[in-house]
């Protein structure tokens, strides 16, 4: 069946970072092989994300998008109210409520034509329940793991500790100790374990997800061999773990459609700053702080004496939306006179076009929440990071970047603020000032990051490690229809 088109069914999680990465790898696959086509099944965010959120708007726009050999189908959403459940269990149920729609779409595809054959599902790391649907059609599942190889190894090892070694992982996660994890060279402190591991409900979600990961035919990871050599080797040597394909960095370098007027204002301001002189502070699509913490950041920045561009977001004001918004007047939460005193060297703004800012020659450091996409972007542009993780697996990412790889400096590795831990400890102005100074003045980290910039770019071009890995993945997929 040499002329058959191999069709992949992609199912991303309903979050902007997950969807953008998914679309980028989809574009990459169809560009590399003209016998591939992709249908992306789009899950709209659950009602708790807020109906008017940027995520909803962005996702709905995809249903009207056409790309060469990539199509989008928006899945219906059940209107039945969710029974009150713990957050992670409710999220799993929400994703799995779409299985029946996926089943119908795939059945229709399989009945329509012989020239297009469904060669596999590619599901997000949060959508592994869809593996059961793929199994019904006797097609393999590839999991697209949008985080890094070290965290993949951590997650699978937590499951091994619980299932095979009968360890009390909740107790371990709440202790003050370190453990050896195969995907890390250095012992991992329990203080950087994700908050989700500290409760039985959260741990059950992690364990369920890890068990499903082991059922996949292969795991596609948004990383590259030169960045995570040890982690990738450790996963490859473990025969209980599916084949791992490192395909990164997968980035959307045109990211940030939207607020053109504010974009222009930010870039124009950066154009007036000296090369590599500006500290850029940005905490991701869900990152925000209360007024007490905002004032500490402001005081730390002012005392550091460094130029800065600060994306300051307002915390959600009610429970209908978890997404931050922009302040009408940031002066209401900043120290009195701060904007006037720093007018010559600083700029406080709302939402920013992160990729365009990191690409700008004036930016010399990035205070980041350590979301994996953001860290890959900072390495791509050779901008060193100061780690200030907030939620999800960001503490593990921060530990890897600072301690394991020496590609970032620390502000506070064990900072945690999420729905498991809504009241975070305050990070002081002294800690922020110290972190910013190290970020802008530590030439060792800066040199390492510049070297990794070249390696990240080499990985994705012909002859590079990720380019070769994607080639092997495509061969694997096409074998499914032979």
**What secondary structure does DSSP assign to 174-236, as a single string?**
TSS-EE--TT-SSPEEGGGS-GGGGSHHHHHHHHHHHHHHTTSSEEEES--TTTSHHHHHHHH
Within 370-460, where are the H helices? 372-380, 394-399, 429-441, 443-459
Q: What is the DSSP string of 288-329?
A: ---HHHHHHHHHHHHHHT-EEEEE-EEPPSSTT--S-EE-S-
More confident residue, 230 or 52: 230
What mean pLDDT comes out for the span 267-287?
94
> Rounded CA gap, 229 and 241, in Å?
17
Sign of the torsion angle spanned by Cα atoms 295, 296, 301, 305: positive
Residue 309 pairs with which residues in a beta bridge? 280, 347
> Rounded CA gap, 315 and 306, in Å?
26
pLDDT band at 48 (very low <50, low <70, confident <90, very high): low
Residue 258 clears pLDDT 50, i.e. is over it = no
Alpha-carbon Rg for the chain, nearest whole angstrom, is 22
Residue 281 clears pLDDT 80, i.e. is over it = yes
pLDDT band at 273 (very low <50, low <70, confident <90, very high): very high
Q: What is the pTM of this model?
A: 0.94
> Comparing 12-26, 69-83, 333-347, 377-391, which segment has the lowest mean pLDDT?
69-83
Report helix, strand or coil for 436. helix
pLDDT band at 116 (very low <50, low <70, confident <90, very high): confident
User: What's the confidence (pLDDT) of residue 427?
Assistant: 96
**CA–CA distances in Å: residue 250 to residues 18, 92, 103, 262, 373:** 11, 26, 29, 26, 8
User: What's the confidence (pLDDT) of residue 256?
Assistant: 47
User: What's the confidence (pLDDT) of residue 250?
Assistant: 97
Sign of the torsion angle spanned by Cα atoms 153, 19, 465, 367: negative
Residue 35 phi/psi, 5-degree rounding, is: -95, 10
Residue 282 clears pLDDT 70, i.e. is over it = yes
Report helix, strand or coil for 391. coil
What mean pLDDT comes out for the span 466-471?
98
What mean pLDDT comes out for the span 97-113?
92
Residue 5 pairs with which residues in a beta bridge? 116
> Comparing 15-29, 155-169, 292-306, 388-402, which segment has the lowest mean pLDDT?
15-29
Q: What is the pLDDT of residues 54-87, one digit of tens each?
A: 666 776 676 666 678 999 999 998 776 565 567 7
Give the other-Cβ count within 10 Å of 48's Cβ. 15
Give the other-Cβ count within 10 Å of 83's Cβ. 8
User: What's the confidence (pLDDT) of residue 3?
Assistant: 67
Q: What is the pLDDT of residues 349-407, one digit of tens each?
A: 999 999 999 999 999 999 999 999 999 999 999 999 999 999 999 999 999 999 999 99
CB 178 within 8 A of CB 190: yes
Q: Which residue, chain included where needed, has tokens 């940030």?
A: 256
Looking at the chain, the whole-number percentage of residues with pLDDT higher than 90 is 78
Q: What average pLDDT does the structure give for the chain?
A: 91
Residue 122 pairs with which residues in a beta bridge? 10, 142
User: What's the confidence (pLDDT) of residue 87?
Assistant: 78
Residue 20 clears pLDDT 60, i.e. is over it = yes
Contact partners, residue 370, CB within 8 Å, separation at least 6: 385, 387, 388, 389, 394, 395, 397, 398, 401, 408
Residue 328 clears pLDDT 50, i.e. is over it = yes
> Rounded CA gap, 108 and 105, in Å?
5
Residue 323 phi/psi, 5-degree rounding, is: -90, 135
User: What's the confidence (pLDDT) of residue 259?
Assistant: 44
Give the other-Cβ count within 10 Å of 274's Cβ. 10
> Comparing 173-187, 188-202, 273-287, 412-426, which segment has the lowest mean pLDDT?
412-426
Residue 8 clears pLDDT 90, i.e. is over it = yes
Q: What is the pLDDT of residues 418-430, one digit of tens each?
A: 766 777 789 999 9
Give the other-Cβ count within 10 Å of 199's Cβ. 17
> Rounded CA gap, 35 and 8, in Å?
11
Tell me 72's DSSP state: E
Give the other-Cβ count within 10 Å of 239's Cβ. 6
Residue 148 clears pLDDT 80, i.e. is over it = yes
């Amino acid at each position: 069946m040499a002329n058959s088109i191999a069709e992949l069914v992609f199912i991303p999680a309903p979050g902007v970072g997950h969807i953008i990465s998914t679309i980028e790898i989809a574009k990459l696959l169809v560009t590399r092989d003209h016998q591939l086509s992709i249908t992306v099944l789009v899950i709209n965010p659950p009602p708790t994300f807020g109906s008017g959120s940027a995520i909803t708007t962005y996702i709905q726009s995809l249903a009207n998008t056409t790309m060469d050999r990539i199509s989008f189908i928006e899945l219906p959403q059940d209107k039945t109210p969710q029974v009150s459940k713990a957050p992670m269990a409710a999220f799993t149920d929400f994703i799995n409520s779409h299985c029946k729609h996926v089943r119908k779409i795939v059945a229709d595809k399989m009945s329509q034509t012989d020239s297009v054959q469904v060669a596999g599902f590619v599901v997000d790391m949060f959508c592994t329940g869809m593996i059961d649907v793929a199994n019904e059609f006797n097609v393999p599942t590839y999991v697209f793991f949008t985080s890094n190889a070290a965290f993949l190894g951590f997650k699978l090892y937590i499951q091994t500790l619980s299932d095979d070694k009968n360890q009390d992982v909740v107790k371990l996660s709440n202790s003050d100790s370190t453990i050896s994890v195969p995907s890390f060279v250095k012992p991992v402190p329990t203080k950087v374990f994700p908050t989700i591991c500290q409760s039985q409900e959260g741990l059950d979600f992690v364990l369920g997800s890890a068990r499903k990961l082991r059922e996949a035919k292969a795991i596609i990871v948004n990383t590259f061999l030169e960045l995570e050599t040890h982690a990738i080797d450790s996963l490859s040597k473990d025969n209980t773990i599916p084949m791992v394909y490192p395909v990164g960095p997968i980035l959307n370098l045109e990211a940030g459609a939207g607020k053109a007027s504010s974009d222009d204002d930010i870039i124009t301001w950066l154009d007036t700053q000296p090369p590599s002189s500006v500290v850029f502070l940005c905490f991701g699509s869900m990152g925000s702080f209360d007024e007490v913490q905002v004032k500490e950041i402001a005081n730390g920045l002012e005392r550091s004496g460094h130029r800065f561009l600060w994306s300051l977001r307002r915390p959600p004001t009610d429970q209908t939306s978890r997404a931050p918004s922009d302040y009408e007047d940031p002066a209401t939460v900043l120290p009195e006179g701060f904007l006037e005193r720093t007018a010559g060297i600083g700029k406080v703004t709302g939402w920013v076009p992160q990729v365009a800012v990191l690409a700008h020659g004036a930016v010399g450091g990035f205070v980041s929440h350590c979301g994996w996409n953001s860290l890959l972007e900072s390495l791509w542009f050779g901008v060193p990071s100061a780690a200030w993780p907030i939620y999800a697996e960001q503490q593990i990412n921060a530990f890897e970047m600072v301690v394991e790889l020496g590609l970032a400096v620390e502000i506070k590795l064990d900072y945690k603020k999420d729905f498991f831990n809504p009241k975070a400890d305050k990070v002081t102005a002294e800690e922020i000032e110290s972190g910013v100074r190290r970020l802008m003045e530590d030439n060792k980290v800066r040199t390492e990051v510049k070297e990794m910039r070249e390696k990240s770019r080499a990985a994705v071009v012909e002859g590079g490690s990720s380019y070769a890995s994607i080639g092997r993945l495509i061969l694997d997929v096409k074998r499914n229809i032979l």
